[in-house]
Every structure is written in C-alpha cells, then in structure tokens.
Structure 1
Amino acid sequence: MTTAADDPAPSRTSLVRRARKIDRVLAETYPDARCELDFDDPFQLLVVTVLSAQTTDKRVNAVRPVLFGAYPTPAAMAAAPRDDLERIIGPLGFFRAKTESLLKLSAALVERYDGQVPPRLDDLVTLPGVGRKTANVVLGNAFDVPGITVDTHFGRLARRFGWTEETDPVKVEHAIGALFPRRDWTMLSHHLIWHGRRRCHARNPACGACPVARWCPAYGEGPTDPVAAAKLVRTEGRA
C-alpha cells in the first residue's frame, strides 16, 4: 500500500487537503464521536474535566452522580466540607489536590461570575485549575464555541499525521487550527481523541486496521498485518 510516508514533504495546500481528508474519514469511522465525560450543564462539565486529569473518563463518570447529588451548584460545592469532597472523589487519585481545585474553582465562580460558568476562553483560564485544554472542552461542548482540545491523544496524532512538529499544546492548537475551518475544531478534537483511544495507541498503534493509513506518514509504527492489528482495536475508550 502506498502511504504518505512514501511521498515527499507536502506543500501547504496538499497538507491542508490531506488533513481534511483524514478528518472526513475519521468522522465516518466514528459517527458517535463526542465528549466521553457525562454532564448536564456547563458547571458539571467544567468540574468533571478538571477531575479527569490523571484518570479515566469512566471513573469520573462513576463518581459524578454522587458528587453533584450532594453539591449541584458552585455555591454548594464552595461550601462543601473538605473531608466529604475528598471521600467522594477519592477513587480518582490525587484527591487532595483535586479537592483543593474544586473548592477554589467553585468559590471563584461564585465571587467573580455570580455562580455561572463564563463562556469565554480568557475568563475560563483565569479560574483555579483551568487551562486552555479544559477551557476548550467546556467551550466546545457546553457552549458550542469552537475549540481544539489538545490532550495527549490529539497531540500524538497531530504529529503522527505530519500536521505539525510542535510539542507545546498551545502551539499545536494554533498550528492545527490553521489547517481547518473554525467551525470544525470541536468535532476534529473528538475524532482524533476517539481514534487515539481506539486505534492509534501511543504504543503499538493498530496500523493494519487504520482507516486513514494511506494518508499517514507514521504508517508502520505498529503492526501492518490486518489480523494482528485488529486485535489491538478497542471498541471503546480506555476503561
């Protein structure tokens, strides 16, 4: 199979075309791609995204009903006893640091924004524990404001696809944003994250079972035999 790895460095125009083709194929491959964190409102999404650091979405989703059943609003969470919060989110790891973040974050929402999650990147990143990645998750999925979420999967795939050589998340965000229409940014993030969790693993990617292999310069980093590669494919994200 002829792949992008066999071609010379692409021009800017061909890079854009190839990138958008990959995204279209990933959209067809993962028609249900979405944020895998459960949430009912912007505050819940902000909190669960903060909690998802160094753990899995599935574990965060498991504690979410208890957490928001007890503390459904920023005001309630800001006033929560520290010990109670630590007990609820204990299974997620780093629970002391995460409890501190939730208490400070909730208090900041109450004090600065009348208990409402602000729908602007510049405001979100001023909140305790909230960086650009978290802010873009909230903007794209709670407010329909396009944003690129550069997590470990997105950054890895952007480099494997040859879209950028940058490693700094902010530089990756800007570099990839220049290749796609702004309206596509949020779904692009979901497509790459889903693909990274299911096929294009950090170690041993399922190259022989990859729907975008022909356009990938990194084809061959994992097994190219279809049978061997199929065994690496996950039907859902990391447990």
Structure 2
Amino acid sequence: MRTIVTSRAASMARSSTRARGNACAVLDVPSKAARILEQLNELYPKPKGDPPLDHGDDYQFLVAVMLSAQTTDKKVNEVTPDLFQRAADAAAMSKLDPSEVEKIIRTVGLAPTKSKNVVKMSQLLLERHEGAVPRTFEELEALPGVGHKTASVVMQFAFNLPAFPVDTHVHRLAARWGLSTGKDVKKTEEDLKEAFPMHTWGDVHLQMIFFGREHCPAQGHDRSVCPICKWAAVGVPPSPAAKMTSKRKASKAATRDKGQLAKKEEVDAPTENGRPKRVSRAKRKL
C-alpha cells in the first residue's frame, strides 16, 4: 500500500521540522550566556589589552571617561594630552575657567557642558575628598557629570571593583541575544550580572562593545550572518526600542503616502473667467 503525501501535508511537515529545529536552538539564559562568553573569549581573548582611554592616574581616567560620553575613545585621546598638560590634577583643573577647558576639548561632543562639569567635579573632589577619586558608587555619582555608567567604568577599570558598565552597545546586544528584557540600562545591568560570573564582568563589557562595533550595528543588521545573533537571537522578540523604531518608520511612511495621495487627488476646476485651475479636492469642499 502506497502512502500519498499531498503538497500541503509536505509543507506542514517541513514547517514542523523547522519549528522543532528553532525550539532546539532556543537556550535558557545561563546556557546562552556561557556559549556567548565562549565565543567572545575566542574573538577577543584579552580585551583589557586593547588601546584604552589615555590617562596617567585615577583622576585623569575619571576625566577621560566623562569626556567619552557620546563620542569615541579616539576623539578623547586626541584632546586629553593638551588638557592634562594644562591641568594634570584636580587642584590645577579646579582653578581653570570652563571656557579654557572648552577650547581644548572643543572637538569632543557636548564640549560646553563637559567643560563645566569637569571643573565643578574637580572643585568638589578637593572639597570632599582632598582631590582623590572616591571608591564608592554613591560618592562618585554625587559628582557633577558622573552618572552610573561613568561610575561603573571607574569602579571596574580604575579600582578593579565589581561593576558591569552598560552603554548603548551592551544594552542593544543584551536585548538582541535575549539576555535581558530591560527597557533601561539599570535593568539590563542587573540581568547581565545574573547571567555572567562576577570575575568576567569587566572583560564581557569590553567584548560586547567591540563585538557591537564590528559585527552587530544598530541599523541595517543581518542577524543571519552575525556570529552570535544567528543562533542567540532565535526566538527573541524585538526589543521595545526596535518596536519604537518600526513604529516611527511606519508613521513616516504613512505621512509620505498621505502626501502623495493628496497630490494625486488634485483635480481641474474652472475659475471665474472659465480658465482651468489646479485645486485640491479638499479646497473644492470648502
């Protein structure tokens, strides 16, 4: 007796097979994090050995990290030699006018605001900590221009204390890989601390940044060819940010289509002297 398989049945069978394959590829967070860590270590075995922000001591590192917000390390490294030659410590920096600092760091994004914060931060370091950089999140985040991410970078890389800094790259990758469902960096940080061993936090932070820059861009990313996304992103729903981007694109497209439709709806209508004139349908209704 022969079994006849219809095209519909065959299609359903193939779909079922693909579904089982995808289900097998979806891992729990601990297993996924372990596999991601293995791949990141293969790609970037010694991330702390890569060129960091140029600095001479903890104070200069804090200043460099403050300047690095919304710009590149390369840009910061281009201006800090002149800045630290002019003022190498908190005592010297606190005496400068913000306009002097701004002239030196003018090529760095948000230079007017950053220059004011660097001077105010230096003055408070002298008043509260005798010019030394504090070693607690509470004290660091009380300084002007020092947010949680900046404090985390200083804690991890200046003092080698447990911290997992989360920037835009880390936040984006954590969502894509299904390691976090956090809508903000605070929740993402909590989830990543749960996913990875404490002694790896500093390395993973840098590795995710490097991977995001080289393999996992924010826009126009093909997950099927990404070394990690092609398996880690399986079954992961779009992040809230991605959904918002899609909504904005859809809204722009709708507005554009509406404008094109309005142009097409223009019709000929006679004027008082009998000559034709192009007017919109909306105007005809008035």
Matches within 5 A, 1:9-48: 14-34=28-48, 36-48=52-64
Q: Which residue of 1 aligns with 2:209?
A: 193
Matches within 5 A, 1:41-190: 41-190=57-206
Number of aligned positions between the proteins = 217
Q: From the CA coordinates, give the structure whose radius of gyration is larger.
A: 2
SS at match of 1:60: helix
| Structure 1 residues 202 and 186, CA gap change in structure 2 (3 angstroms) | same
Separation in structure 1 between the aligned mates of residue 163 and residue 200 of structure 2, nearest angstrom: 9
Give 1:81 deviation, angstroms: 2.6
Percent identity at matched positions?
Answer: 37
SS at match of 2:47: coil
| Structure 1 residues 162 and 121, CA gap change in structure 2 (3 angstroms) | same
Separation in structure 2 between the aligned mates of residue 171 and residue 36 of structure 1, nearest angstrom: 26
Give the alignment's TM-score, normalised by structure 1. 0.83
Structure with the larger RCO, 1 or 2 (CA within 8 Å, 6+ apart)? 1
Give the alignment's TM-score, normalised by structure 2. 0.70
Unaligned runs of 5+ in 1: 222-239
Q: Quick check: 168-177 or 199-208, which moved more?
A: 199-208
Q: Quick check: 48-57 or 128-137, which moved more?
A: 48-57
SS at match of 2:195: coil
Which residue identity is paired with 1:27?
A: N
CA contact (8 A) 1:37 1:61 kept: yes
Separation in structure 2 between the aligned mates of residue 129 and residue 9 of structure 1, nearest angstrom: 43
Richer in helix (by share): 2
Give 1:211 deviation, angstroms: 3.0
Separation in structure 1 between the aligned mates of residue 220 and residue 101 of structure 2, nearest angstrom: 38
Give 1:7 deviation, angstroms: 2.5
List structure 1 segments (4+ residues) > 6 angstroms apart after TM superposition: none
Q: Quick check: 15-24 or 60-69, which moved more?
A: 15-24
Give 1:89 deviation, angstroms: 0.7
Give me the CA root mean square deviation. 2.5
